[in-house]
Amino acid sequence: MSQHGEAPKTIQTFPARSDPDAAVDLVAGIVGESVGAALAVLRGVTSRPALRSPAVWRPPFLPTRFQPASLVDEVVRRGARHRIRAVRQMGAVVDQWAPVLVEYIAARVDLTNLVLRHLDIDRVVGAADLDAAVSGVDIDAIAGRIDIDAILARVDLVAIVEDVMAEIDLPAIIRDSSGSMASETVRGARMTGITVDEAISRALDRRLFRGRRSSSVDADQ
């Protein structure tokens, strides 16, 4: 594993990287080292006790407005104003550009597929209070806006009715019902006949002290 040694490593990595990558790394290295050096200097300076003494920040021989602490306070105030103005301007820029950017990105990303892949729709629906949402909906008003005529116009009612009639054999039902119940008159005559039959049977049963007669077909056998 001699090629993983110190000297060959730096030599072999350079040809393996592309120029843009190497340039980025170079810039990052410079910036990183600069920031690191600046932080080290800052840490060294701020850790000095002299910087924390009131004699440095509020020297009695200077008027208050020229003392370092006052100057720093003034700069801080101005900095705060600049920050607020900058944030406001930044917000305006974001407001202006965000829709354009989002539109630009959305046009290039398959959002539907993305949502389906990463969103647990069951959990989302489970968290929603559907009952409350539905109770707030005026279903009558929705039903009133439905054009039922247009729906019916798209349905082949004739074909459906023909299918239903073919299934239920309507002529047979009409034939049976009209045959047996030809009219209320016939029905009344038949019931009257049965009633008179029963009355005669009961009267004779009482008169002749016979046992209850059986009138079923089975009794004839």
Residue type, 198: E
Contacts for 215 with CB less than 8 Å, ≥ 6 apart: 201
- Cα separations in angstroms, 166 against 133, 161, 171, 172, 218: 44, 8, 10, 11, 38
Interface with another protein (CB under 8 A), residue from 52, 58, 83, 187: 187
165 near another protein, judged by CB under 8 A:
no
Residues 166-185 within binding reach of another protein (CB under 8 A): 172, 175-177, 179-181
Q: What is the dihedral of CA 131, 137, 139, 143, to 10 degrees?
A: -140
Task: Indicate the residue among 31 and 181 with the shorter CB distance to another protein.
Answer: 181
DSSP 3-state of 146: coil
Q: Are 41 and 50 in contact (CB under 8 A)?
A: no
Q: Least separation, in Å, of the C-beta of 212 and another protein?
A: 9
Q: Work out which of 38, 87, 116, 189 binds another protein, going by CB under 8 A.
A: 189
Q: Which of residues 120-159 bind another protein (CB under 8 A)?
A: none
Q: Which is nearer to another protein, 149 or 220 (CB)?
A: 220
We find the least distance from the C-beta atom of residue 186 to another protein, in angstroms, to be 6
Euclidean distance between CA atoms 89 and 83, whole angstroms: 10
Which stretch, 80-88, 104-112, 116-124, 186-194, contacts another protein (CB under 8 A)?
186-194
DSSP code, position 211: P
Calpha distance 86→104 (Å, rounded):
26
- CB of 161: closest distance to another protein in angstroms? 22
Return residues touching another protein (CB under 8 A).
Answer: 172, 175-177, 179-181, 186-187, 189-191, 193-194, 196-198, 200-201, 204, 208, 210-211, 213-217, 219-221
